[in-house]
Structure 1
Amino acid sequence: MAAYPIDYDFHVVLRDGGLAHIRPVKPEDTDALHAMFHRLGRESVYHRFFRHKQDLSKEELQYFTSLDYDDRMAFVVELGDKMIAIGRYDRMEDDPTAAEVAFVVEDGHQGRGIATQLLVHLTNYARNNGVASFRAFVLPDNYPMMRVFRSSGFQLHREMGQGIYTVEFPVELTDEAKRAGWQHEQQAVAASLLPMFYPRSIAVIGASRDERSIGARVMRNTLGARFSGIVYPVNPNAPAVGSVKAYKSVLDIPDSVDMGVIVVPARGVLSAVQECADKGVKALVVISAGFSETGEGGTKLETDLLDLVRNAGMRMVGPNCLGMLNTDPAVNLDVTFSPHHPPRGNVAMSSQSGALGIAILDYARQLDIGISSFVSMGNKTDVSANDLLLYWEGDPSTDVVLLYLESFGHPRRFSRIAQRVNRKKPIVVVKSGRSQAGARAASSHTGALASGETAVSALFRQTGMIRTDTLEELFEVASLLANQPLPKGRRVGVLTNAGGPAILAADALEAEGLTLPLFSDKLQAALREVLAAEASAGNPVDMIASASPSNYQACMRQLLASDEIDSVIVIYIPTAPRTERDVENAISEAVVEGTSGKTVLGVFMEADEGDLGPINRGDIRIPSYPFPEPASRALAHAVRYAEWRARPEGVIAEFDDTNTDTAQDVIWGALGRLGTEGGWLLPHEADAVLDAYHIPHPKSRL
């Protein structure tokens, strides 16, 4: 008998956004299974056993719960401490590569995607234990079960005999099965986060009259954003907060509450969350600090918090976070304590650091980068970057995603999700904790365990995410991606009224791997018709200091109509007072008239300090930069991303002559020697791993 497979214990999100616990069956589950059987409807029992049964015998209960976790395997689904479903397979005696599979879901929970989740876990376990195909016997009127199989993406073979369908399918994970699984996952996670992004009512637990307190600032922001629903302050010591009637407990609120925002000391968080669970709250934002970032005692408190949240079927942002906001006018949500509220736009942003989130929101406001939604994850105990990416993947208000990360909770899942989302919407990320000192600081800040820099860099390259070194660079790229089409190639034209900045631009562009092609005689002739005699019509196009707005507009028309370049960087240094707006208008009008879809960036080198945002003329928004270098850097990031997205997805190569077990033994042995920090393999260990995968390498001798 195999050991209990503890690695197959999961919390999952269901189709309707609810949470459930899936784990392998244990012998002590007999009472829970017996109780579930008696809650099943007559039809459910008949569909499972093909006859009417009044009860399960002691022998049957023991048979269903005593497994060898090899030839016989089963998973149960729990809500809290109640079993609501079970799925199992039994290996066929005449064919050990095939197994019979069966499910039963309690009537009140059918249609929530539970059987689909069971099928996913059973097929995954079967593949890893030598089972190649499943066989199910289904009554003709068991339409829900047939729907589960049809929507699974597996290649089904169905036959009717003696009034029963026999459904057979290989458990190999085909591309269609992967797509079906991804779609189920995206829809389920998005549904679970809807009460978070679109609550109809909010209880601010810890709302305060002290204007200096975080509770007061959260309450002020919630009301100041003109939240479309109802706000209930919860304060046991005040009859009202901010002129709004207060309640001693969330349980005293007479109406339903969708979201609870908790701003109380850490020692009071668990009781506040329990009251939210009893009230039926669906979403929590726990701003309170004092959890895993503080050490062992805080880690235990955070574990208890997560257990409480999951058992109640809630989703939670935090703890130790700034809060979140959603600028959609349908909700106008701001449950942060930030003093800054960004403009509405098409950029979604997540920060693992709360304090840094305040600076990020302020910077977005200064640069006029519109935010669709912002989430401060904090310790990301429940809702993580993976969940947010799945939500933003289907969010029509979001075109660009920005992430500030200190760690990865599930790198493999993050890589899979990010690679898919990045094909539709660019993801720009700053990952801190590169150095040993930075990783140590991240751990003490949000309780994060930083990942190895080499592995992180490889992950970003493989998934096509745009990695920037600084937050400033992150916003440089975001301003371009949010406002302009992706570049179609590496060819750049530069238009300027000063030679020095054009040289800087040329150097920066070539350093980034972009090209400035010398314009054809035909294009140069067309440009000279609108330029002064002293001007240069090559590339860069130097119109000299006397260039007027009309010169900018005429030259822009020629460049945008040309098929010799893919992007244009237009540089302007003011040579007379109050001329910037006229030049901006001229550039915008040329872009409006053009139909080439070229990427356009502006460089205004003496813009007022408070005028850092893009050129905004109705539907035309052109990102503006103070110097040529950041514009060149942002354009290069966009070019490389566009090239990655244009490449075929490809397939993962599979080899049947590898020795995975040997490689795993070497790696686990090395990890035992290196500890949790990891490190490099010794030469003989590296040789053994390479040999296991038949990768040629120079022979070494010690």
Structure 2
Amino acid sequence: MSTVQRPPTASAALLTDGTTVTIRPIDPADRAAVLALHADRMSEESRRLRFLGSSARAADLTADRLCGPLRTDGFALGAWAADVLVGEADYEVLDEAAGTAELALAVADAWQHRGVGTLLLEHLVHAAREHGLAAFEADTLAGNRAVHRVFTDLGLPVHRRYEQGEVKVRVPLAEADEGYRRAVDERGRAADVASLGALLRPASVAVVGASRRPASVGGSVLRKIRDGGFTGEVWAVNPHADQVAGRTAYPSVAALPDVPDLAVLAVPAAAVPAVAEECGQVGVRALVVLTSGLDAGQARRLSGSCRRHSMRLVGPNSLGIAATDPRVRLDAEFGGAFPLPGTAGVAVQSGGVGIALLQRLAWLGIGVSSFVSLGDKYDVSGNDLLQWWESDGHTDLALLHLESFGNPRAFARTARRVTRSMPVLTVDAGRSAAGRRGAASHTAAAATPTVTREALFRQAGITAARSVAELVETAALLHAQPLPATRGAVAVVSNAGGVGILAADACADAGLVLPDLPADLAARLLDLLPAGASAANPVDTTAAVGPDRFRACLDALEHSDAVDALMVCLVPTALSDEPESGLLRALLDGGARRRIPVTVVRLGQQVPVTRLRAADGVLPQYADPRSAAAALAHARERSRWLGRPIGADVDVPGCDPGAARRIVDAHLAEHPAGGWLDPLATATLLACYGLPLTTTVWARDPHSAVVAARALRHDGHDGRTVLKAYWPDQVHKSAAGAVRTGLRTDRDVRDTYREFTAAFGDRMAGVVVQPMAAPGVELLAGLVQDQVFGPLVVLGLGGTATDVLDDRAARLAPLTDLDLPEMVAGLRAAALLSGRPGSPPVDLPAIHRILAGLSRMADDLPQIAEADLNPVIARPDGVLCVDARIRVEPRPPFDPYLRRLRRPQGLPEEEP
């Protein structure tokens, strides 16, 4: 067990009622606060339950214990609300060998039943696990129902033993991680939703900086709130005016007749911190800051006020927010038009994108449940809004345009849950080659921003469009039509053969399939259609088809079970220059809500996507078959996602994370800035996770190399050995000419060592001696710690051509049992691994075990910046890594699932 270390900084987190508290370690300067908590803020009954009896000195003794000199046998955390200590949780190590510690918890009477104790325990569990503890133990009175409820609700196993009126509680810390995470998720969701109520369902709003100038931001927002029919009270704050937009203006927030739930700030940047502090002091619960251009000091003060006074913050640099719920009808944004009421939740970072998105949604008749322009995103994020939409009872479609992710792993976990109940769409921006980082290993070079974002979206079930236009075009389909089956089989029906061919090509490019129609269905279609029609797929009805026959053709395809979707392509012809008058009307008369999704393509329409209204719904209508095909492909992928079972965490038996940590800690103790592990440390670390590195012997001189090679030949290998020159910070061995293979004799080994010495001189520290591996499929497997997204596990074709072939699959750790086969199947060269005539499949379960081991290693050791196993030789009888490199760097442990608010901009980072 490692020595207890106090975390360097504090974390803000939400209670069940949405109140913000600060969790931080208790230190000697907190003695007065600890004494006040136990002596003044807890009743005599609470103290009796806490201390298992009455004692006049209990509060003093506790303050002395928690605030004495820094100890290595215990740890204490406090929860502060507006600089007042409202709860504390601590442990003292009982048995270092067994990893057990005694737990104690106290919460002020006025703050009980608000989640203080549970939140403290979550953070204490995190600290205890990092310190190597295995279990908490606590002695409690049988009548202390509150603390027993806290233990029960925590989500970890709880074992109780009754002894003479007392209950001895034991809480194992290493068990039921997924159940515990689900419990933490639910508490986090409930707290998040409670905190956002004042923002998205306010009963009153103040616009601070509401100007009399109609073109001003503050004046515009005030008028939109008024004209939008906001159901609550709205006040104008302007110290230089008596009235604004027909309403009384007040000189300050403190002068208002009542405390607003929400304040919208449209004041100069220099005034923002003072106004925010005033809002917090009077009790405002949420801020929307429209102002841009805050400097670091202003950002720090704004964020500090919001944390201290439990205010949720949107912005700064926000376009504003809107909530169309009839009970609210709030439009507090300065875009060009009122958002149309509806069921789509929209969150954007760019105000310009937000305006364009609202406009395009309005063209389609897709209304908005709530709209939030996140701006610089100091606090409220896409993760918060996903949880709000999941719970608001109005939203059934989520649209996001995010330029950054505060905690991608927490976001992915939330999105993975939300996408089961509603489509979540985003724009995958930043895909250019300029995003590729310079990196020292093949694995790190593969971890481009594109790869990491795609892995995040794929694992979370998020529909990622390539542009705002594609986002809207896909939303039009998902909002109006059923999902297709997972095959992606499309029937294209057109009244002109040329456009049908264009549509068929577009479907193929999008990964959809145009199957041959069954003979009986084709015959039936030919009976229905005019002479000259084609019943192949695409189906060419010819320009002579009439409305009734056209509708009958679509009905036959819909009910045939041969296809999963219909793409109907209509063009004006000499027989009918207005398809709406005939074929289009026939299509709409057949109904918009069919068993399978229907898209309409009309070449030449002025708007990229519109909608056609029928009696039972709407049909999306596209100007280009490529847009329709892309939307159908996204719908097919969503259907596949929903049909995919929820994966389970992979088990990696026989791991030794303690030994692995000792290897990493020893290297960082000797090299504080980090660096590449030497070959022996690399081999030992991989062995801790069952990763199969070939026999590796380290030699520092020619004689040792000869002895090692001779021993390998005698161990049953085929007589050939490999020598690899090594020096610290070595990059690519093959490119540097530092690898020789096929060495058969002592003389070959001795001569090769001398060649290396002549070529590399004093920088060479020695050589690695290995047996020649049998041939097989060469793979690359590795991991890289992304500063934003966390650990990414990569699999691809390996060897010297790995960067040329660029055939890779990637997933963010931790991997599930479903990710393992999907990564293998996702390679373009998957057929090389799964077998083909004359070539049996390689040992796929062994590849899965390598990926699982890398995932576990990434989770256990955030200090591993990159690990590169290349090549990994896969054969029918197993897999073997013949070269590996691992780079470590100093990083504090980081739990992405620990409940805490994002670190405000302008303050030092708590974790990477």
Structure 1 letter corresponding to 2:199: M
Structure 2 counterparts to residues 551-562 of structure 1, below 5 A: 551-562=549-560
Q: 1:362 and 2:359 equivalent? A: yes
**Alignment partner, residue 467 of structure 1:** 464
Change (3 A) 1:212 1:439: farther
Shift of 1:696: 4.9
Q: Residues of 1 paired with 2:866 and 2:123: CA distance? A: 35
Aligned-pair CA distance for 1:175:
2.4
Matched, 1:223 2:226: yes
Matches of 1:158 and 1:433, distance apart in 2:
53
Segments of 5+ residues of structure 2 without an aligned counterpart are 438-446, 677-728, 730-784, 800-863, 874-878, 886-912
- Measured in 1, the distance between the counterparts of 2:221 and 2:457 equals 35
Is 1:669 equivalent to 2:674 in the alignment? yes
**Helix, strand or coil: the match of 2:221?**
helix
Quick one: structure 1 residues 192 and 264, their matched pair in 2 at CA, closer, same or farther if it must change by over 3 Å? same
Contact 1:485/1:599, CA 8 A, preserved across alignment: yes
CA distance 1:398–1:677, shift in 2 (3 Å): closer
CA distance in 2, matches of 1:648, 1:426: 17
Q: Distance in 2 between matches of 1:54 and 1:534?
A: 101
Q: Match of 2:401, SS?
A: strand
Distance 1:213 1:687, change over 3 A: closer
Confirm or deny: 8 A CA contact 1:225 1:333 kept in the other structure: yes
Match 1:285 to one of 284, 288, 299: 288
**Deviations 1:634-672 (CA, angstroms, capped at 9, x unpaired):** 11112122212321221222431463565696897369x
Distance 1:94 1:521, change over 3 A: closer
Q: Distance in 1 between matches of 2:170 and 2:505?
A: 63
Identify which of 117, 120, 124 aligns with 2:119: 117
Name the counterpart of 2:244. 241
Matched, 1:180 2:177: no
Max Rg structure: 2
Provide closer, same or farther for how the CA distance between residues 677 and 132 of structure 1 changes in structure 2, counting only shifts above 3 A: closer
The 8 Å contact of residues 407 and 451 in structure 1, kept in 2 or not, is answered as no
1:599-610 → structure 2 map (5 Å cutoff): 599-607=597-605, 609=607
| Percent of paired sites with the same residue | 37
Deviation string, structure 1 residues 536-573 (Cα, Å, up to 9, x no partner): 12222211112333233212211221111111111222
The structure 2 residue matched to 1:380, chosen from 371, 377, 380, is 377
Determine the structure 2 residue equivalent to 1:129: 131
Q: AA paired with 2:369?
A: S
Normalised by the length of structure 2, the TM-score is 0.70
Q: Which has the higher contact order (CA 8 A, sep 6+)?
A: 2
Deviations 1:666-688 (A, max 9, x none): 897369x999899999x9x9996
1:21 matched to which residue of 2?
Answer: 22
State which of 258, 275, 286 in structure 1 corresponds to 2:278: 275
Residue 590 of structure 2 corresponds to residue 590 of structure 1? yes
CA distance in 2, matches of 1:486, 1:104: 52
> Structure 1 stretches of 5 or more lacking a match?
292-297, 441-449
Amino acid at match of 2:191: A
Q: Equivalent residue for 1:477?
A: 474
Residue 418 (structure 1) aligns with: 415
Distance 1:406 1:536 in 2: 48
Residue aligned with 2:590, SS: helix
Q: Which amino acid aligns with 2:115?
A: G
Indicate yes or no: 2:883 matched with 1:699. Answer: yes
Determine the C-alpha separation between the residues in 1 that align with 2:645 and 2:142.
42
Letter of the 1:406 counterpart = E
How big is each residue's C-alpha offset from its partner over 1:221-249, in whole Å with a ceiling of 9 and x where there is no partner? 11121111111011111111111111111
Instruction: Give matches, 1:95-174, under 5 Å.
Output: 96-172=98-174, 173-174=176-177
Structure 1, 409-418 or 41-50: larger mean CA deviation = 409-418
For the 8 Å contact 2:867–2:884, the answer to whether it is kept is: no
Distance 2:272 2:884 in 1: 58
Deviation per CA, 1:434-467: give whole Å up to 9, x if none: 4587899xxxxxxxxx994432232223223222
Q: Deviations over 1:578-630 (max 9, x none)?
A: 54265444324424684x3x122121224454x94322235412222111110
**CA distance, structure 2, for counterparts of residue 31 and residue 154 of structure 1:** 33
Residue 348 of structure 2 is matched in structure 1 by: 351
Residues 346 and 482 in structure 1, CA contact (< 8 A), matched pair in contact too: no
Q: Decide which of 250, 253, 257 is 2:256's aligned counterpart.
A: 253
The Cα of 1:310 is off from its aligned counterpart by 0.5
Q: Which moved more, 1:213-222 or 1:46-55?
A: 46-55
Give the drift of 1:510.
Answer: 1.4
Structure-2 separation of matches of 1:224 and 1:386: 31
Question: Following TM superposition, by how much is the alpha carbon of 1:281 offset from its aligned partner in structure 2, in angstroms?
Answer: 0.8
SS in 2 for 1:640: helix
Which residue number corresponds to residue 445 of structure 1? none
Answer yes or no: is the 8 Å Cα contact 1:155–1:169 preserved in 2. yes
Question: Does the C-alpha gap of structure 1 residues 52 and 283 become closer, same or farther in structure 2, counting only changes over 3 Å?
Answer: same
Indicate how the Cα distance of structure 1 residues 402 and 581 shifts in structure 2: closer, same or farther if over 3 A, else same: farther
Deviation at 1:216, TM superposition (A): 1.3
The residue aligned with 1:262 is 265
Shift of 1:485: 2.1
The SS at the match of 2:196 is helix
Query: In structure 2, what is the Cα distance between the partners aligned to 1:305 and 1:439?
Result: 35
Q: TM-score, normalised by structure 1?
A: 0.90
Partner Cα separation in structure 2 for residue 71 and residue 615 of structure 1: 70
Shift of 1:68: 5.3
User: Aligned equivalents of 2:297 and 2:617: distance in 1?
Assistant: 52
AA aligned to 1:569 is M
Shift of 1:698: 4.6
Q: Which amino acid aligns with 2:267?
A: V
Partner of 2:509: 511
Distance 1:677 1:92, change over 3 A: closer
One-letter code of the match for 2:236? P
> In the alignment, which residue of structure 2 is the partner of 1:52?
54
Q: Within the alignment, does 1:10 sit opposite 2:15 as a pair?
A: no
Query: Is residue 690–residue 696 contact of structure 1 (8 Å, CA) maintained in 2?
Result: no
SS in 2 for 1:6: coil
The runs of at least 4 consecutive aligned structure 1 residues that moved more than 6 Å come to: 436-440, 663-668, 673-681
Tell me, in whole angstroms, the C-alpha distance in 2 between the residues paired with 1:460 and 1:661: 35
Deviation of 1:577 after TM superposition, in Å, equals 4.9
Among residues 66, 85, 88, which one is paired with 1:86 in the alignment? 88
Cross-structure match for 1:444: none
Shift of 1:8: 6.6
Verify the 8 A CA contact 1:236 1:247 in the aligned structure 2. yes
| 8 Å contact kept, 1:341–1:365 | no
Give the partner amino acid of 1:554: A
Deviation at 1:88, TM superposition (A): 1.3
| 1:295 alignment counterpart | none
Alignment correspondent of 2:531: 533
Helix, strand or coil for the counterpart of 1:649? coil
Could you tell me how far apart the structure 2 residues matched to 1:403 and 1:485 are? 22
The structure-2 alpha-carbon separation of the partners of 1:243 and 1:581, relative to structure 1 and needing over 3 Å to count, comes to farther
CA distance in 2, matches of 1:690, 1:439: 20
> In the TM superposition, what whole-angstrom CA distance separates every residue of 1:163-192 from its partner, at most 9, and x where no partner exists?
112222311243222211111111110111
Partners of 1:686 and 1:167 in 2: CA distance: 39
Residue type of the alignment partner of 1:262 = L
C-alpha distance in 1 between matches for 2:884 and 2:564 = 50
2:12·2:22 contact (CA, 8 Å) conserved in 1?
yes
Q: Secondary structure at the match of 1:516?
A: coil
Does the 8 Å contact 2:424/2:463 carry over to 1? yes
**Structure 1 CA distance for aligned equivalents of residues 103 and 196 of structure 2:** 32
Cα distance in 1 for partners of 2:423, 2:142 equals: 46
The structure-2 alpha-carbon separation of the partners of 1:677 and 1:616, relative to structure 1 and needing over 3 Å to count, comes to closer
Of 569, 572, 576, 2:570 maps to 572
Aligned residue runs from structure 1 range 31-70, under 5 A = 31-37=32-38, 38-56=40-58, 58-66=60-68
